[in-house]
Amino acid sequence: MKFFVILLLFISILFANSNSLIEQKKASKIEKKDTLVEENFNEFDDFENEFSENDKLTEEVFDPLYSYNNWMTGVNDYLMINIVEPQAKVYRWVIPEGGRTSVLNAFKNLYFPVNFANNILQTKVENAGNETSRFLLNSTIGILGLFDVADSWFGIKPHVEDFGQTLGYYGAGSGFPVVLPFFGQRNVRDLFGTFADSYIDPIYYNDWRFYNTAEPYWHSVLLKGYEDFNEYSLTPEAYEKLTADSIDLYPFLRDAYEQYRNQLIKE
């Protein structure tokens, strides 16, 4: 780019003695080129500054469990590539996409108490009303949530919220990152949020509650694992595509997770 600028200046000097019309045209062209070059350099500076700021943010991440998280990410990565993905291919072949989508819809329908409560806690009353309408429609017309008729027939979109998002909505920091076996990237705020949500989430077993989808508790953990596995089967090879170009896997997944959760909180 600098060579291009020098070349333009040389051409302008070489033809300095040309007639006035040519001089005016050349000057006009050079002015436009110089402006374009300056804008390009400014854009590059802005990108460089943004990149530097991102590097600074990455360096400032408080990660006291880095060694463990890095190791567990490697374990999960091995499991994803060598076990989950091959099994997902078989699962996709056995269960049609429509069946897997219905399973996903049913799980999402069960999540209603969590969505409703956290929309209320975030003072999103209209969204809470929409979630109630969705639950009633999908549980009846949609046959226990197997079909999302609330969206496809009535245009009522979901408003998924959890207690981790609620805490973030009120300004709670994410805390340090934690990588869970099998379930992957989390942070302290979201772990606490999941624990709080489990008291009203039908998937997790609570002996004091009149509604439970599984018991004892470890059955509900298996059910949650199946939910995630079924959802992953609907996005073939998504994990491999996501991580294909990553140089350092754990920091990449950690930062991607934080950006994703922060975006959900802003919404």
Confidence at residue 267, expressed as pLDDT on a 0 to 100 scale: 85
Q: What is the pLDDT of residue 59?
A: 53
Per-residue pLDDT of the chain (267 residues), as tens digits, is: 433 333 333 334 333 344 443 344 444 444 444 443 344 444 434 434 444 444 444 457 899 999 999 999 999 999 999 999 999 999 999 999 999 999 999 999 999 999 999 999 999 999 999 999 999 999 999 999 999 999 999 999 999 999 999 999 999 999 999 999 999 999 999 999 999 999 999 998 888 888 888 878 888 889 999 999 999 999 988 888 889 888 999 999 999 999 999 999 998
Structure tokens at 51: 């990149």
pLDDT at 208: 80
pLDDT score at 215: 79
Specify the pLDDT at position 150: 98
Provide the pLDDT for residue 8.
38
pLDDT for residue 113:
97
